[in-house]
Amino acid sequence: MTREQQETLGRLKILTKNFLSQANLLDISPELMYRRLLMEVIFYGTVTKTQQGTDALTRIGPMPMRFDLRKVFPMITERDISSFWLQAVGEIFCFINGGRTLEDLKKFGCHWWGPWATEIKCSKRGLETGDLGPGSYGAAFHDFPMVDGGGFNQLKNIVEQIIEFPHLRTHFVSPWIPQYTIRGTGKQQKVCVAPCHGWINIRVLNGKLTLHMHQRSGDTPVGVPANMVQYAALALAIAHVTGFEAHEYIHSFSDAHIYVDQLPAVEKILMRETPALPTVSMDKTVTDLFDFRREHFVLNGDYHPGPGIKDIPVAI
C-alpha cells in the first residue's frame, strides 16, 4: 500500500468503528446493508496480495445482506448505478440461457466482459478469443457436463422441481465445474474467470420464495452492486414462473474485498447520505424463465441516488 492509501484507510477505520459500534447490525434498514458490508470489510479486513497484482482488504465471511423484495429492490443509492444496472440483469439472463461468449452477452445487452476475454487471456486457456470457456457461468447453469457427454440445464430442472416439490431444501444451483477451474502443474484452466457468484439456494416457505445467493469472491465497490440487482431480478422471475410470491433476497459471501486503489472512491461513498432503496416492476406477461430479458425490468421512478462515481479501478 502507498502512504496515501494507508492514510485513507486510517480515516475509514475511524469512520467505520463509530458505525459498527453504534448500529444494531442485525436490524438495520435495507438501504444500509451495503454500507455495512463496505464498513465491515474496511474495519475487519486483512490486507492481502492478489492474483490481479493489486493488494486488497479482505474479509472472510461478512454478515449477509437481506432484502424484502415485497418492499424494495437492492439497487444501491450511495451512488448512481442507473447507467449499468440493466447490463447486470441482461448478463444473468444470458448466462441462464447458456451464453458464454462476448457475442452472446452483447445480444443480451451486456458489454463489459471484453477485458476478461481477450486474445491473450483466451489463448492461454486454449480458447477462441471472446469465449469465456466451458467452465463459465453459462456453461454451468445451462449445460453442466454429464457423464454421457450431454449437458444438464440446472435452472430448467430447478424450476420444474420447485413447481412439483416446493417444500424441498434441495433447490440448489452451482456455477462451479471443478475440472475446468483447477490450476497447477500440467493442468490448464478452461475458463477466463473462475465463477465468483451464483451458488443459489431457493426455499419456499408458506408460499413465499426466498433466493439466497452465496458469493465466492466479491469486488465490493464494483462487482457486488451489479450482483445484487441481477440475482434479485432472477428471484423475481423465478417466483413469478413458479407461481409463488417473491419474498426475500439474501446475499452472503466467502471472500468480500476492496482493492486498495478503490479506497478513495469508497471514502466518497461512505461520506454520503444513503437514500431509500427503489422498487422495480417486472413484465408479468413473460411466463417462461428463459424468455426474460433486461427490458422486462423497469425502475418505478423512486430511485434517487447520490451522484455516480466514475473510474473506480477494476482489477482484471
CA–CA distance, 107 with 91 (Å, rounded to integer): 10
Q: Answer whether residue 82 shows pLDDT above 80.
A: yes
Q: Answer whether residue 300 shows pLDDT above 80.
A: yes
Q: What is the pTM of this model?
A: 0.95
Q: Answer whether residue 195 shows pLDDT above 90.
A: yes
Is 94 catalytic? The answer is no
CA–CA distance, 109 with 22 (Å, rounded to integer): 42
Contacts 24+ apart (CB under 8 A), 32-36: 32/274, 33/65, 33/66, 33/67, 33/74, 34/65, 34/74, 34/76, 34/78, 34/224, 34/225, 34/228, 35/78, 35/269, 35/270, 35/274, 36/63, 36/65
Q: What is the mean pLDDT of the chain?
A: 96
For residue 47, what pLDDT is reported? 96
List, for residues 227-278, the tens digit of each pLDDT value. 999 999 999 999 999 999 999 999 999 999 999 999 999 999 999 999 999 9
For residue 125, what pLDDT is reported? 97
Burial, 230: exposed, middle or buried (Cβ in 10 Å; 0-12, 13-18, 19+)?
buried
CA–CA distance, 248 with 203 (Å, rounded to integer): 10
CA–CA distance, 113 with 134 (Å, rounded to integer): 16
CATH number (3.30.572.10, 3.40.50.720, 3.30.70.260, 3.50.50.60) of 62-253+275-299 reads 3.30.572.10
Task: Give me the residue spans of the domains in the chain.
Answer: 62-253+275-299
The whole-number average pLDDT for the span 84-88 is 98
List, for residues 16-48, the tens digit of each pLDDT value. 887 887 767 667 899 999 999 999 999 999 999
The whole-number average pLDDT for the span 106-112 is 98
For residue 27, what pLDDT is reported? 74
Choosing from 110, 122, 192, 196, which is the catalytic residue?
Answer: 196
CA–CA distance, 84 with 75 (Å, rounded to integer): 11
243-256: buried (b, 16+ CB within 10 Å) or exposed (e) per residue? ebebbbbbbbbebb
